[in-house]
Amino acid sequence: MRSKTSFACGGLLESRSKSHSSTIQRKTLLGTSLMKLTATSLFLLTFICLQTVLGPVCCLAEPSAQEIAQRVFDRNDGTDSVSEVTMTLTPDGGSPRERRMEVSAKDYGELTKRLIVFTSPKSIKDTSFLTWEQFEDRDTQFLYLPALRRVRRIASDQKDRSFVNSDFSYEDLERRKVELDTYKLLGTDTIINRPVWKLVRTPKEKSSSQYSKSEMWVDKESFLVLRADMYNSKGELFKKLTVQNIKKIDGIWTAMEVRMHDAEREHTTTNVIQSIAYNKGISDEVFTKSHMERR
């Protein structure tokens, strides 16, 4: 028979054992809760970081064909620019002929004015071409021929004609407005080792373009068109434009070498930028008909 003292000690030990067991259970529950809280916190923190870096999940979707086309039209090309360009005309299997020209451009809000002046050879020197973009209509274009000593406006029904015997037509020198066409995204591809979107552009009105459709490969970073295949009214490949090299100059992506091949004429025109400067503050006077005549 246990003494009162022994009984008391046994009860005390038993009480301490139960207390210790309860403490362990509380600690275990607390640890489990902390682990759950930590896991939840880490998940939330990770989600917040991804949202901060990548933006909302919905914004990760590919842009629509229309949105890509608008980004091409709106892409940053400076407030103005002036460049020296070499134009080389090469018949398939024939000898090349070289021309040099100075190209100036200036933004007026959403619209742009551009002037091309040929500086050599002598046979084409001082021939110039002026474009004024319009909001509601196609661009207004003027051609100055020194031999005639006058400025001639290019009529709308003449815009499919060759620009000074090159493979570029007057239409090719326009910045075609997005709302004139419908667009469809065909997928993705790679051009000059750069990821691109492939689109097809179809005129809403057939009479607004010499091309029945154009397939375009648009660079995902610069929004430059790196390739364009243009088809005639019969659906046959008519012209092919390719960009051979692009470069970032003064923070602006620039197509340094552009080729236009005419499959019907079997002839190629290559334009290479020798030098270019952006945001130089070009005078408005440069983009007038009187300036063309005074050169």
Q: How far is CA 39 from the centre of its chain?
A: 42
**Helix/strand/coil for 222:** coil
Q: Which residues sit opposite 189 in a β-bridge?
A: 196
Q: Residue 73 CB: number of other CB atoms within 10 A?
A: 14
Whether 216 and 198 have beta carbons less than 8 Å apart is answered as yes
Question: How much is the pLDDT for 60?
Answer: 59
Distance of alpha carbon 159 from alpha carbon 260, whole angstroms? 16
pLDDT of residue 135: 79
Q: How far lies 51's CA from each of 37, 55, 62, 91, 220, in Å? A: 21, 5, 17, 54, 22
Record the pTM.
0.78
Q: In sequence order, which residues have a C-beta less than 8 Å from that of residue 102 and are 6 or more positions away?
A: 82, 83, 84, 85, 116, 117, 119
pLDDT recorded at residue 138: 81
- Helix or strand (DSSP H, E) at 246: strand 237-249
User: 218 — alpha (psi -120 to 50), left (phi > 0) or beta?
Assistant: beta
Residue 133 is which amino acid? E
Q: Average pLDDT for consecutive 10-residue bins of the chain (295 residues)? A: 39 40 48 46 42 45 94 96 98 94 95 97 96 87 94 94 96 94 97 97 96 98 98 97 97 98 96 98 96 87
